[in-house]
Amino acid sequence: MNTLKKYIFAASLFSSILTACGNDNINGGDPVVPVGPTSGDVKIYTTTGSQSHDFAKTFVNFGKTTNMSPMTIKLDESKTFQTMDGFGSAITGSTAYNLLKMNQADRTKFLTETFSPTEGMGQSYIRIAIGCSDFSLDEYTLADKPGIENFALQEEELKYVIPVLKEILAINPSIKIMGSPWTPPKWMKVNNLTELKPYDSWTGGHLNPKFYQDYATYFVKWIQAMKEHGVNIYSITPQNEPLNDKNSASLVMFWDEQQAFVKTALGPKLKAAGLNTKIYAFDHNYNYDDMPEQQDYPIKIFEDPAAAAYFAGSAFHNYGGDKAELLDIHEKAPNKDIIFTETSIGVWNDGQVLGKRLMEDMREVALGTVNNWSKGVIVWNLMLDSEKGPNRDGGCQTCYGAVDISKSDYKTIRRNSHYYIIGHLSSVVKPGAVRIGTTGYTDNDLVYTAFKNTDGSYAFVLMNSGGESKQIMLEDGKNHFTYNVPAGAVVSYTWKK
């Protein structure tokens, strides 16, 4: 082979290897067209921490010979667990602001890749703030002037959040939306429930029982106002991080306060308004911020049957404690749902180092919470800018988004671990899917779970944290197939029996 031919052959081989690996340009360029089968019995998405596979899509066919592999994982439909609500991220004021800084074509492309069930990852659950959060353009509520009659949606909702939600709903009309307040109006706050002194601060304070009914009306008016704009609210939590009094906007709401507020005001007001919006208790950390009297916060609430009747379940974050708390809560209240509603990456946990975060976030958040009975997984900001904002003083100023967009052009996008872990679930596990059992091959480097979708298809999501690839066999009782899982990879599979 002469020198020119050798060069052409080598260049062609290198190009084929890159293409086969699905080495998409994640920073705004066009993806490489994959070489290999474009259809088959099983659709597979693969991402590696090294990005040799970047949510690469491929297909394999069912095996034709008898399965004799000792590395076989068998799906077991006789064991069923929770029914899934969905997977997604938060559309904060900051996220909406950044999205609207993009040109329309780029934004539509990104939102389609993120939310479309047919052309993208199919994210299916969104969390938004009721009023401001620490990722807003300002501190505000929807009734800053005293008197519930002064309730009104504000600029952040009308100019930023609602327009983005409408674009998302046009792509995925069935997406679920959860709302959580960071603070009530300041005129509803007191320093504590003993002195009941007015508390004119965005940060901390307690909800004055005198205003329980007005604050419940505030939730009702918000749900109704959003519906008037074409945005249906699927679920709410009474308070984001009720044990955190240090956020830029916050409120302390101990378990007995939340129990009383929902039992006497929020639950009855929603019912009287004919709203079936789900209420989730708590919405904070696994370790209850190490407050002994707040341990098992949702369980304490559920011990009152009249209060428990208004709650669909409980919601959790992972900024303290361990995901095993979800299993403990499920065992104590098996008739109540669990949902995971917030986690963030940032400077403190090497948030932009995909090789580290992809494995840890998949183990601890995505598969970890689902395997402990969570019906859904929602990460924090979908999109922040390259300066970690916009954000508020006193809130998180070291957080990254699921994706970060360059502030210099509002075009170049860095996709971080949270974008991938949600995408690997939402792309194959659809709302209404039931988590099912598995038997067979296990390995310390492998974490996985299986589902059956409402259309009868199967979904299987697996991570290999090991330093070597592993060839596994999946079997559903009728069909089987083999796939070589790369080292440090997350893989999602879907197929019909």
Q: What is the 3-state secondary structure (H, E, C) of the chain?
A: CCHHHHHHHHHHHHHHHHHHCCCCCCCCCCCCCCCCCCCCCEEEEEEECCCCCCCEEEEECCCCCCCCCCCEEEEEEEEEEEECCEEEEECCHHHHHHHHHCCHHHHHHHHHHHHCCCCCCCCCEEEEECCCCCCCCCCCCCCCCCCHHHCCCCHHHHHHHHHHHHHHHHHCCCCEEEEECCCCCHHHEECCCCCCCECCCCCCCEECHHHHHHHHHHHHHHHHHHHHCCCCCCEECCCCCCCCCCCCCCCECCHHHHHHHHHHHHHHHHHHCCCCCEEEEEEEECCHHHCHHHCCHHHHHHCCHHHHCCCCEEEEECCCCCCHHHHHHHHHCCCCEEEEEECCEEHHHCCCCHHHHHHHHHHHHHHHHHCCCEEEEEEEECEEECCCCCCCCCCCCCEECCEEECCCCCCCEEECHHHHHHHHHHCCCCCCCEEEEEEECCCCCEEEEEEECCCCEEEEEEEECCCCCEEEEEECCCCEEEEEECCCEEEEEEEEC
Residue 23, pLDDT > 50, answer: no
What is the pTM (predicted TM-score) of this model? 0.93
Burial of 159 (0-12, 13-18, 19+ CB in 10 A): middle
pLDDT tens sequence across 107-152: 999 999 999 999 999 999 999 999 999 999 999 999 999 999 999 9
Percent of the chain topping pLDDT 90: 92
Q: How confident is the model at residue 438 (pLDDT cuts 50, 70, 90)?
A: very high
Mean local confidence (pLDDT), 223-227: 98
pLDDT tens sequence across 172-183: 999 999 999 999
